[in-house]
Amino acid sequence: MNDNVTPLPSELHAAASRAVDEALAELASMPATARYQVDLERFGTPEKALKAVAVRAREAQALLEAAKEIAKQEKEE
């Protein structure tokens, strides 16, 4: 019997996605001032911190829209 079963890419993706979802949910529950301070420390200036959050927002929105479209297509099949 083979105990070394390799997970499917879709299973790995699902597990990683769950971990990201959990981290984002926890982050969303934190005060906005703390999230801003982290971006300020990571990116150095208020302008760069704002740019970083804007990039994350665009990426999240694009991912959401694409996932909704895929889900819609799957539902129609």
Per-residue 3-state assignment (H helix, E strand, C coil) for 9-71? HHHHHHHHHHHHHHHHHHHHCCCHHHHHHHHHHHHCCHHHHHHHHHHHHHHHHHHHHHHHHHH
pLDDT of 38: 96
pLDDT of 2: 59
pLDDT of 1: 54
Residue numbers of the chain with a pLDDT score lower than 70:
1-2
pLDDT of 4: 83
Contact 20, 30 (CB under 8 A): no
Residue-wise pLDDT for 45-60, tens only, equals 999 999 999 999 999 9
